[in-house]
């Protein structure tokens, strides 16, 4: 890589970090879009900590997400998720990966909107299904027709995810490409939905 390209990459990272300031960068979107797998290298690029709300919920509850859903139901899980996320957002800046339903909860969404920059990682059904179909730990997909359930979740949730500050298209490309698109979207203050590598 030549010096000019390297300095452009550095300046994008630096400009994104400066634009973010003391705000948290919160990744929202459906299961399988890559909030955690993109969040880690994104945090590294920005030089700030990364936290996954699902991991934090499991740590404080000493139960897995699946166990929490089974024992308490989705409503109680969402209340716990809102409390944990509110606490996490009080310390920043950091990159925060949320569970798929977090932004759907009006209380949680308000916590995110006040003082954080939100990025919706958006993906089409084919990409999501290819990713989530490989794992069996998704409580909301334990249905007779999980692909239809996933499509129903998309139809119900996409308009709400659309309230995020920025939108970046998650697709089957290298994580570094998505990370760069998020950094560019932060700097430009607009979506990177139409960008292709």
In the structure, what pLDDT confidence band is assigned to residue 195 with cuts at 50, 70 and 90?
A: very low
Distance CA 26, CA 123 (A): 17
The mean pLDDT value for 126-154 works out to: 80
How large is the average pLDDT for residues 5-20? Answer: 77
Residue 78 known to bind ligand: yes
Cβ-in-10-Å burial (0-12, 13-18, 19+) of 97 comes to buried
* Phi, psi values for residue 107, rounded to 5°: -65, -45
Task: Using DSSP, state whether 26 is helix, strand or coil.
Answer: strand
Quick one: pLDDT at residue 74? 82
What is the value of pTM for the model shown?
A: 0.87
**Taking 50 as the threshold, does the pLDDT of residue 196 lie above it?**
no
Is the separation of the CB atoms in 109 and 163 below 8 Å? yes
| Residue 62 annotated in ligand binding | no
Q: Considering the chain, what percentage of its residues have pLDDT values greater than 90?
A: 57
4 vs 110, more confident:
110
194 belongs to an annotated ligand binding site: no
Q: Is 60 annotated as a binding residue?
A: no
Q: Are 102 and 120 in contact (CB under 8 A)?
A: no
Question: For 165-186, what is the mean pLDDT?
Answer: 94
CB proximity list for 20: less than 8 A, separation 6 or greater: 46, 48, 93, 117, 186
In this prediction, residues 169-182 reach a mean pLDDT of 93
Q: Is 97 annotated as a binding-site member?
A: no
Q: What is the pLDDT of residues 73-124, one digit of tens each?
A: 888 888 899 999 999 999 889 999 998 889 999 989 999 998 899 999 999 9
Q: What is the pLDDT of residue 122?
A: 96
Check pLDDT > 90 for residue 163: yes
Most confidently predicted of 44-58, 67-81, 124-138, 182-196:
44-58
Confidence (pLDDT) at 117: 96
Fold of 23-188: Rossmann fold (3.40.50)
Has 40 been labeled as part of a binding site?
no
Confidence band of 191 (pLDDT split at 50, 70, 90): low
Number of C-alpha atoms within 13 angstroms, CB side, residue 72? 15
> How large is the average pLDDT for residues 37-46?
96
- Whether residue 44 is predicted with pLDDT greater than 80 in this model: the reply is yes
User: Is 34 flagged in the annotation as binding?
Assistant: yes
37 annotated ligand binder: yes
């Amino acid at each position: 890589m030549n010096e000019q390209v390297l300095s452009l990459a550095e300046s994008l990272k630096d400009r994104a970090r400066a634009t973010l300031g003391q705000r948290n960068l919160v990744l929202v979107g459906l299961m399988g879009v890559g909030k955690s797998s993109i969040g880690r290298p994104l945090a590294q690029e920005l030089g700030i900590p990364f936290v996954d709300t699902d991991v934090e919920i499991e740590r404080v509850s000493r139960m897995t997400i699946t166990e929490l859903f089974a024992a308490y139901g989705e409503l109680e899980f969402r209340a716990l998720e809102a409390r944990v996320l509110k606490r996490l957002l009080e310390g920043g800046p950091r990159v925060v990966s949320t569970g798929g339903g977090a932004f759907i909860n009006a209380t949680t969404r308000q916590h995110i909107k006040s003082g954080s920059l939100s990025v919706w990682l958006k993906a089409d059904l084919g990409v999501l299904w290819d990713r989530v179909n490989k794992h069996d730990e998704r409580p909301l997909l334990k249905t007779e027709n999980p692909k239809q359930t996933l499509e129903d979740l998309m139809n119900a949730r996409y308009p709400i995810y659309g309230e995020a500050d920025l939108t970046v298209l998650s697709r089957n490309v290298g994580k570094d490409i998505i990370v760069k698109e998020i950094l560019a979207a932060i700097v430009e203050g607009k979506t990177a939905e139409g960008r292709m590598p």
